Chains A and B, each alone.
Chain A
């Protein structure tokens, strides 16, 4: 079993749709959680950190369920510019990041 798994995708959604990505991790000692976004042929860029209480940044909402070892990302009112690959990342304090394989999103006009 991979350490971090994500929805396989791709997700093709119309503009304005709400889309949810799921991620599970196997290491119960993991302490830090992130969502990164990666555009085609570019480097990953931090979208948001994920906190135990859940957090929201504009149209983006991240949730963490430590008991189920599950992380989610919700995007509301999708824009064309949201088209990218979304990477779930898990880490222990001071340790390396473990990336999921990514889920590709295409927002269609």
Chain B
């Protein structure tokens, strides 16, 4: 196993609600990236946190926000949920060093918005 954990594993919300997803990175890793994976598609990059600072963002609206804590765990917050937000949310941890930086994924949180 990768040592990356996520909670909760599954979640059901209704449109307009807010959700917080959590990720604990692998020991020694300082970077967490979040991805959204819709059914039948590859993961899409949401944003990355490096040492508690946002370090890049994909094409997602501001209602997707995040945090990284001093222990390098992270949260993804989504406000004003929409039906299209239903997806598997993956976090990946990595250690930024050199050119070849491998990311290790957690099991994901399945979000269903009704």
Interface residues of A (CB under 8 A from B): 4, 31-32, 34, 42-46, 49, 87, 91, 93-102
Contacts and interface: CB of A to CB of B under 8 A. Distances in A.
Interface residues of B, number: 27
Interface in B58-114: 58, 90, 92, 96, 98-108
Given A43-B90, A49-B100, A98 B105 contact: no
Interface of B: 2, 33, 35, 41-45, 48, 50, 55-56, 58, 90, 92, 96, 98-108
Contact of B42 (A34, A43, A49, A102): A102
A45 B105 contact: yes
Nearest to A101: B42
B99 A43 contact: no
25 contacts: A31-B99, A32-B99, A32-B100, A32-B101, A43-B90, A45-B2, A46-B103, A49-B100, A87-B42, A87-B43, A91-B101, A93-B98, A93-B99, A94-B55, A94-B101, A95-B56, A96-B33, A96-B45, A97-B33, A97-B35, A97-B45, A99-B35, A99-B42, A100-B42, A102-B41
Contacts of B104: 46
A43 B107 contact: yes
A25 B55 CA distance: 23
Closest 7 CB pairs of A and B: A99-B42, A96-B45, A43-B105, A101-B42, A99-B43, A93-B99, A102-B42
B41 A101 contact: yes
Most buried by B among A4, A43, A44: A43
A39 B61 CA distance: 29
Given A43-B108, A99-B35, A101-B42, 20 more contacts: A4-B42, A32-B101, A43-B90, A43-B105, A43-B106, A43-B107, A44-B43, A45-B2, A49-B100, A49-B102, A94-B50, A94-B101, A95-B56, A96-B56, A97-B35, A97-B92, A99-B44, A101-B41, A102-B41, A102-B42
